[in-house]
Structure 1
């Protein structure tokens, strides 16, 4: 494993965050029985990837210096 990626594109990180969030929600009495944690993690990861791509495009369009 030699390639690196940002933490927010890691499925393991998102699955862990969803697990923590559902555990906390259950502790506070929110219904989480029908929640598909794997699907939620994948959806969040896809949304983050799309948003980061959009930010990169907008950042390049709005840049004031050349890439060199």
Structure 2
């Protein structure tokens, strides 16, 4: 079976976004080394997972149907 997950739970997606932002920042004169990029990607992925959990819980409280 192939497991799936939301895009925002993917460390690959967050790593790509951080790499893109780091490249754009370098063009603007800022520098991030590889270690800082990895740490930032992991922190963003963890934050996105936590935010997703909060949204899911709040969504359950606002839902109009009951769970069986």
TM-score (norm 2): 0.86
> Where does the alignment leave 5 or more consecutive residues of structure 1 unmatched?
none
Give every structure 1 segment of 4 or more consecutive aligned residues whose post-TM-superposition deviation is greater than 2 Å: 30-35
Partner in structure 1 of residue 43 of structure 2: 43
Considering only aligned residues, what root-mean-square deviation do their CA atoms show, in Å?
Answer: 1.9
> Where does the alignment leave 5 or more consecutive residues of structure 2 unmatched?
none
Q: How many Å apart are 1:59 and its aligned residue?
A: 0.5
Measured in 1, the distance between the counterparts of 2:5 and 2:33 equals 32
Q: How many residues align?
A: 68
TM-score (norm 1): 0.86
Q: Structure 1 residues 3, 49: CA separation in 2 closer, same or farther (over 3 Å shift)?
A: same
